[in-house]
């Protein structure tokens, strides 16, 4: 069974600094996808970034980048130049492979708090 582990229940970061949120995964599949979502206090789930298991380059989307280390089975999210609006829960998720569907398995989340 697939498993996603986020070992940091909560983190603080100073505004304008960079922060790394950890995510490790466990799968025997060769083809898989990794996602990061942001959930602010309002509750919605906001898609941030995606990394495919065969992608050779680390994914980037604006201030978000994914540090993908396949051999270590880690997919850490890096947020550069933190802003107050980045305070939220962050979830790492993995997509099942092949024709089994697109369902996502989520980690327990990390609560990020940005200090002014």
Q: Which stretch binds another protein (CB under 8 A): 10-18, 40-48, 61-69, 75-83?
A: 40-48
3-state secondary structure of 107: coil
Q: How many CB atoms lie within 10 A of CB 60?
A: 12
Could you say whether residue 38 binds another protein (CB under 8 A)? no
At residue 106, φ and ψ (nearest 5 deg) are: -105, 150
Could you say whether residue 36 binds another protein (CB under 8 A)? no
Q: Work out which of 36, 68, 90, 91 binds another protein, going by CB under 8 A.
A: 91
Start-to-end CA distance of the chain, whole Å, equals 41
Count interface residues toward another protein (CB under 8 A).
27
At residue 98, φ and ψ (nearest 5 deg) are: 55, -135
Q: Work out which of 3, 14, 26, 52 binds another protein, going by CB under 8 A.
A: 52
Q: Work out which of 15, 47, 60, 83 binds another protein, going by CB under 8 A.
A: 47
Distance of alpha carbon 112 from its chain centroid, rounded? 12
| Placement of tokens 């996808």 in the chain | 33
Could you say whether residue 56 binds another protein (CB under 8 A)? no
Could you say whether residue 44 binds another protein (CB under 8 A)? yes
At residue 23, φ and ψ (nearest 5 deg) are: -150, 125
Interface residues toward another protein, by CB under 8 A: 31, 33, 35, 37, 43-47, 50, 52, 91, 93, 95-106, 108-109
């Amino acid at each position: 069974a697939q498993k996603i582990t986020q070992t940091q229940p909560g983190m603080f970061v100073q505004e304008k600094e960079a922060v790394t949120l950890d995510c490790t995964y466990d799968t025997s599949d060769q083809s898989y996808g990794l996602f990061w979502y942001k959930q602010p206090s309002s509750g919605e789930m906001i898609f941030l970034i995606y990394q495919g298991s065969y992608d050779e380059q680390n994914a980037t989307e604006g201030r978000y980048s994914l540090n993908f280390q396949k051999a270590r089975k880690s997919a850490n999210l890096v947020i550069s130049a933190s802003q107050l609006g980045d305070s939220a829960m962050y979830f790492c998720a993995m997509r099942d492979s092949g024709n089994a569907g697109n369902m996502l398995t989520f980690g327990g989340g990390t609560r990020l708090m940005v200090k002014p």
